Amino acid sequence: MAITRSYALDVVWQFAADEAVNAGSDFIEPEHFLVGICSIEKLFSAERDTNKMTSYSLSSIRAEWQDVLAILLHARVTPSVLRRDLRKDLPRGQATPGQGRTVNRSDRARGIFEVAEKTAEKVGSNLVGVSYLLEALLHDDAIVRALRPRVGDFAAFQAMVSLAAKRPLQAFPAVAQKASTSASMLGDINTERKAAGN
């Protein structure tokens, strides 16, 4: 089964790459991806230009973000506060901070993505989504050390993320649901017409 990244995970990747460049990091590290997850909300700010995105991709990103946001808020974590707090401890590198360049994932980050992909496959998802990445990040000791003092009930937070990562994420769920609903409605209408003798 081919597994691809969700729209939301692509956004997280872009934000993570920006964080790595701005920090002068040599690679995109797991910490950058964690900040990237907390940055999804920026996509929906008034000054952000989303004209190049389709309404489907935006609604798909929003749906994933709402799931993650609910987990963060339940743990009494505000994404913007966590993002700014984590940014202080981001890994630095030899590059000039903010200098435009291409950055690749570190081996550590690649390993975390492999865990996220395995989770997606295990639950029957054809997309690797943000909840799978967040769950994989929580298996990394450095991420746990960074998050534990910033999250009130860390065990409950882990349990909620783990539960969210057990749900499959499918491509085009809204389209499939709409088609299914339309077909069902058409079936009901045809049944009513036959019953009415039309």
Confidence at residue 95, expressed as pLDDT on a 0 to 100 scale: 79
**Of the candidates 57, 64, 40, 41, the residue with the CA atom closest to the CA atom of residue 168:** 64
Confidence at residue 72, expressed as pLDDT on a 0 to 100 scale: 93
Q: How far is CA 145 from CA 8, 89, 105, 141, in A?
A: 25, 12, 21, 6
pLDDT, averaged in runs of 10, over the chain (198 residues): 83 94 92 96 74 81 93 92 90 79 93 96 93 97 94 92 91 43 36 41
Confidence at residue 160, expressed as pLDDT on a 0 to 100 scale: 95
Residues 6+ apart with CB under 8 A from 108: 29, 30, 140
Answer whether 103's CB lies under 8 Å from 17's CB. yes
Confidence at residue 188, expressed as pLDDT on a 0 to 100 scale: 41
Residue type, 179: A
**Of the candidates 156, 150, 119, the residue with the CA atom closest to the CA atom of residue 134:** 119
**Cα separation, 32 vs 36, whole angstroms:** 6
